[in-house]
Amino acid sequence: MDLLLPHLGLFIWVLLAFIIVFLILKKYAWGPILKGLNDRETNIAESIASAEKVKQEMAQLKGENEALLASARDERATMIKEAKATKDKMIAEAKEEAKIQAAKILTDAHAAIQQQKMAAITDIKNQVGKLVIEVSEKVLRKELANKPEQENFINQLAQEIKLN
């Protein structure tokens, strides 16, 4: 049992060694260890503050990015709306121009048809006038006494004349 219980002398020497090691550590090691711990604690606190600052900046940048995206979407929608309006305006102008051109072409065609019609009528009148003069001339050249001979002669002349 002596092996289990320490002797009083051993106990005093161990206590004395512990106190000497403690005082040496307190004088030379404790300051730098505490200083290192304080520096580390300060560094950790600064890192946490920096991380919070970065987090706030990221949140702010995210908000700015969302605002920029919303602005870009609005601008895109405005540009698309303007492009559609321009397209519709160009289509309407082209349709109106086509209608005007079609109306002009129709008017010109009607005028040309009317002019050709009048020219054809004038030509027919001139041809009919010439034919009447020719028939009258032939009738007058031949003097006939009785009416049945005149009618036969007129019918014969009418069959001879070819109309164009």
Ordered by start, the domain boundaries in the chain are 8-160
If residue 32 lies in a helix (H) or strand (E), which one and from where to where?
A: helix 31-141
Mean pLDDT of 23-41: 90
Mean pLDDT of 90-99: 94
Q: State pTM to two decimals.
A: 0.41
Going by pLDDT thresholds of 50, 70 and 90, the confidence category of residue 9 is confident
Max distance between CA atoms of the chain, in angstroms, equals 193
Mean pLDDT of 83-89: 95
Rounded CA-CA distance 47/55 in Å is 12
Do the Cβ atoms of 51 and 45 come closer than 8 Å?
A: no
Rounded CA-CA distance 37/97 in Å is 87
Dihedral through CA 140, CA 142, CA 158, CA 147, nearest 10? Answer: 90
Share of the chain above pLDDT 70, in %: 91
Whether pLDDT at 164 is above 60 = no
Q: Which residue, among 138, 143, 141, has the nearest Cα to 155 in the 3D structure? A: 138
Going by pLDDT thresholds of 50, 70 and 90, the confidence category of residue 41 is very high
